[in-house]
């Protein structure tokens, strides 16, 4: 089974194409068609058009962080509440990317791992294995949302030489 980004979920088989192959095929096509800068401009315009939603998600993630991290150290099942804003942000990221520019396979893999578990009787015995991926997905997601907000506010266009945060956003959509 795959999420929208083409990233295998925990139920997928070994016979699906590797995400790295998808990325290389995509980049070859972009290079051959000479549309790289146009794709970057299009994704940036989509980011700017969704700025109010991105700002709201950034606030939600900021508010969730303090309690969520505390809950990890307190070994409270409430750390699982961090999954909700991650899922909401990932959905928006997928929408911004659309079919042509889905989220980077490494990021999608982190999100899948961080949202795959629900609290159960065995969670406390496997606390770190089940909850550290939640924090990892949360922090990667928070970073990408914050970078999109920052650069949507600061830039009018994306030039070839970009700041590291904007370059990371381009990696998020496999455009760098």
Q: Is 6 left (phi over 0), alpha (psi -120 to 50) or beta?
A: left
Per-residue model confidence as pLDDT tens digits over 162-174: 899 999 999 999 8
Q: Where are the alpha helices (DSSP H) in the chain?
A: 19-33, 36-49, 51-74, 83-97, 105-114, 127-154, 164-172
Supply the pLDDT for residue 12: 46
Per-residue model confidence as pLDDT tens digits over 93-151: 999 999 889 999 999 999 999 999 899 999 999 999 999 999 999 999 999 999 999 99
Supply the pLDDT for residue 66: 96
Supply the pLDDT for residue 72: 96
Domain locations in the chain?
19-172
Per-residue model confidence as pLDDT tens digits over 9-67: 544 445 566 666 666 666 656 655 657 788 899 999 999 999 999 999 999 999 999 99
């Amino acid at each position: 089974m795959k999420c929208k980004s083409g990233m295998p979920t925990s139920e997928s088989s070994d016979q699906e194409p590797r995400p790295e192959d998808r990325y290389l095929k995509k980049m070859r096509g972009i290079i051959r068609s000479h549309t790289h800068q146009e794709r970057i401009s299009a994704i940036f315009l989509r980011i700017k058009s969704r700025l109010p939603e991105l700002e709201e998600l950034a606030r939600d993630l900021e508010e969730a962080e303090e309690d969520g991290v505390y809950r990890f150290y307190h070994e409270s099942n409430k750390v699982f509440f961090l999954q909700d804003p991650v899922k909401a942000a990932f959905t928006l990221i997928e929408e911004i990317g659309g079919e042509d520019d889905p989220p980077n396979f490494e990021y999608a893999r982190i999100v899948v791992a961080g949202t795959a578990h629900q609290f159960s009787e065995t969670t406390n015995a496997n606390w770190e294995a089940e909850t550290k991926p939640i924090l990892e997905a949360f922090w990667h997601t928070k970073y990408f949302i914050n970078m999109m907000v920052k650069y949507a506010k600061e830039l009018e266009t994306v030039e070839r030489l970009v700041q590291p945060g904007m370059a990371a956003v381009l990696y998020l959509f496999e455009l760098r």
